[in-house]
Structure 1
Amino acid sequence: MEDISDVEIIAPNFKRRLSGVTSTIVQLVPVQRARGQKIATVGPGLPETLPHVRLSDLLRLHKPPRRRRRRVWHARRNIEMLPGLFLRDILRMPLKLLFTSAAQRRHSGWTRFLISKMDAVIATSSRSGSFLQVPHTVIQHGIDLDMFHPPATPDDTIAATGLPGKHLIGCFGRVRHQKGTDLFVRAMVELLPLHPDWTAVVCGRVTTEHRAFGEELENLVKSAGLTDRIRFMGEVDDIKPWYRRLSLYIAPSRNEGFGLTPLEAMASTTAVVSSDAGAYEEMIVPGQTGTAVPAGNYEALRDAIRPYLADPDMAARHAQNGFEHVHANFAIEREASAIAAIYEKLLND
């Protein structure tokens, strides 16, 4: 538990269910702390290892932190902007409000109203920024390059899985229509018979509401006689080694907020074919690190995958290029540094 008197930046998390926003906080806050930023979280659903303050400590925000005139309240959802407004404008606490927007759509009137009251706004991609009607700074998410790294041990190979073939192609994430899992499976049913050295894996949980969707995909694979070469792995304990085992990663989402999986794959030295949902298109250098195609377009996705299956050496070249691209542009330390500049401006205004 942190002493609220020392905390200069508060990162609220008021949604208990795990989400991309929660994951961002979990990964980013330790890096920010390591940089010397006096940041703490508040709210449920976060690991106890993160620095945090009690909800009751928010009643003590009338008094600024040591050596500062105010604090920063860094919200990432409506349910976090609203309490910040209450604390700043109703209780008159010395706060500056920062909001990070990842939405790839026009905001509701209520959300636009809340955003208009923020002191500063971050967009996680140029595309998400295009839906904002206020001045903003684009700061793309980064990833932990120590956590996601190239193959290093025999466990990082297809041989370690016991699966057939020489090369793995994979699609990770919850099995549902939004994630485009069906587009991936359809492409594998069509392409794998022509490329016997490749095996496909789907790693991700099937929730109760999407069970019929998952069963339909499994039946499609059975009907094609490909149950040995298109494997549904379910929710695996640790996804990181699976990235390292792949030669090609597919991110076929129909829509995303930001979406980190292509970065995680490239950091693991894996080539990527993705849709243009979320910020995917901004991550990939076409023809060098992978390919991005229109979201929901099955034919375009299939045709983008085909050359990699025919030429594994091309997949290896793009994998190496992707590794270098991520290290140059998407380290989480880079994200933390850019956000730190926003914090300092707000703290010093």
Structure 2
Amino acid sequence: MSRKVMHICLSNGWGGLEMYSSRIIPELRRQGWAAHGLALAGSRVATSLHEAGITPLTVASRGQALLRVGHLLRYLKVHDIRILHCHKSSDLRLGALLVTLRPSLRLFFTDHMGVTRPKKDPYHRWAYGKVTRLFSISEATRQRNLAAFPLPPGRIRRLYLGIDPAPYVPRLTGTERQALRDALGIPPGAVAIGLAGRLTPGKGQGIWIEALAGLSERYPALAWHAVLIGGLTAAEGSSEAFVAELRDRVAELGLGERLTFAGFRADLPRQFEALDIVCVPSRNEAFGLTVIEAMAAGKAVVGADSGAIPELIDVETGRLAAPDDPLAWRDAMGELAGDATLRQRLGEAAREKVNAHFTLAAHVQGLVEAYADAFVGSS
């Protein structure tokens, strides 16, 4: 049986969707599958695929990909690739066209973003009608997918994302951890409360800052320091106008000495080691990768009670707060900041939950089982 798949991601962006293919390729290889890729020339997706050990096909644009469909079909035939996997809805036009021209191909699509409106017009009925299996990355997105896509329920499957927990296991010495905390501006003895992610509206940094101001007033005896991790420029994926708004609000609330804008950090697992509490106030996460990363690091997590995050954490592994309620965030952070034993218990339970349910190996196992089923069906 041919165990080959082509991942298609024609995007110039750089986020979880674009990172996905290169993240899973090493695990695909370990599980006996060879991956090929199709990306935009010069994109970070193309670079990441090279770094993952494959040389992707590249095109200048989505339009050029459609014009080169004959070349793509020849490539698929030469390499005996019969499975395609798309990650952007805009790429389904190409995937569906390839399947139309070669019906022996099987097409998969992962909805990374969470569909927001119905897609049942004639074009979408044609394109999604060529999809063998649509993967929803959480139950919340699956329910939305069931309502929005012109597919029978049996072709829409929930498949949680996963991570490799190993990099998140603490490895810093006490001295190294203290040096990192010093570099982040965390005073000795303070509880470090962190938020990691792109600085853009919708990720909840504004509500979090308001909650921090309330924390200072409601729990004046608590020693804490906040760390905001995320790029500060457009080149790093953030909104510079929004960053300026956050800085102004921090100054207005008098939090300048209690909050560090850490900027982009490539070593997120080590940054988590410097923190005591991790907050994820995103309003409508389709999954919540940062949540399970923090859980794998053994951190007490406060997450938004919306989107898919309640599927990841509960009262035994963290705390939830309404994404638009700064008082709820204030009290959740205050509870954890004041109880080191509780933080440790929640963090240990969170790490165990990730190891049991949200590993990259388990995700890829589910993926290749679906691939294999489709391959058998195409024989």
* Paired residues for 1:51-62 under 5 Å: 51-55=54-58, 58-61=72-75
Aligned-residue offset at 1:278: 3.7
Question: Over residues 161-182 of structure 1, what are the superposed CA-to-partner deviations in whole Å (9 max), with x where a residue is unaligned?
Answer: 2121422110011222211101
Aligned-residue offset at 1:7: 6.7
Structure 2 residue corresponding to 1:99, chosen from 103, 109, 132: 109
Residue aligned with 1:63, SS: helix
**2:336 is the alignment partner of 1:313:** no
Partner of residue 22, structure 1: 18
State which drifts further: 215-224 or 266-275: 215-224
State which drifts further: 256-265 or 337-346: 256-265
Structure with a larger share of its residues in helix:
2
Contact 1:97-1:119 within 8 A present in 2 as well: yes
Aligned-residue offset at 1:346: 0.5
Question: Over residues 72-102 of structure 1, what are the superposed CA-to-partner deviations in whole Å (9 max), with x where a residue is unaligned?
Answer: 111121122111111110x225310111123
For 2:356 and 2:208, the matched residues in 1 are separated by 29
Q: CA RMSD in A?
A: 2.4
Q: Which blocks of at least 5 consecutive residues in structure 1 are unaligned?
A: 1-5
Aligned-residue offset at 1:158: 4.5
Residue aligned with 1:306, SS: helix
For 1:184 and 1:74, the matched residues in 2 are separated by 37
Q: Which blocks of at least 5 consecutive residues in structure 2 are unaligned?
A: 59-67
For 2:342 and 2:6, the matched residues in 1 are separated by 46
Residue aligned with 1:36, SS: coil
State which drifts further: 318-327 or 291-300: 291-300
Structure 2 residue corresponding to 1:122, chosen from 122, 135, 138: 135
Amino acid at match of 1:28: I
Contact 2:279-2:301 within 8 A present in 1 as well: yes
For 1:339 and 1:14, the matched residues in 2 are separated by 21
Partner of residue 242, structure 2: 213
Change in Cα spacing, 1:156 to 1:126, as seen in structure 2 (3 Å) is: farther
For 1:234 and 1:53, the matched residues in 2 are separated by 31
State which drifts further: 216-225 or 173-182: 216-225
**2:70 is the alignment partner of 1:63:** no
Partner of residue 3, structure 1: none
After TM superposition, the runs of 4+ consecutive aligned structure 1 residues lying more than 4 A away are: none
For 2:252 and 2:116, the matched residues in 1 are separated by 41
Aligned-residue offset at 1:217: 2.5
**2:308 is the alignment partner of 1:264:** no
Change in Cα spacing, 1:294 to 1:102, as seen in structure 2 (3 Å) is: farther
For 2:287 and 2:178, the matched residues in 1 are separated by 29
Aligned-residue offset at 1:151: 4.4
**2:164 is the alignment partner of 1:164:** no
For 1:63 and 1:176, the matched residues in 2 are separated by 43
State which drifts further: 119-128 or 290-299: 290-299
For 2:196 and 2:204, the matched residues in 1 are separated by 10
Amino acid at match of 1:74: H
Residue aligned with 2:166, SS: coil
**2:41 is the alignment partner of 1:42:** no
Partner of residue 198, structure 1: 224
For 2:327 and 2:223, the matched residues in 1 are separated by 22
**2:141 is the alignment partner of 1:145:** no
For 1:262 and 1:156, the matched residues in 2 are separated by 24
State which drifts further: 205-214 or 45-54: 205-214
Change in Cα spacing, 1:77 to 1:315, as seen in structure 2 (3 Å) is: same
State which drifts further: 321-330 or 93-102: 93-102
For 1:223 and 1:191, the matched residues in 2 are separated by 15
State which drifts further: 45-54 or 116-125: 45-54
Change in Cα spacing, 1:157 to 1:119, as seen in structure 2 (3 Å) is: same
Q: TM-score, normalised by structure 1?
A: 0.89
Partner of residue 197, structure 2: 173
Contact 2:96-2:128 within 8 A present in 1 as well: no
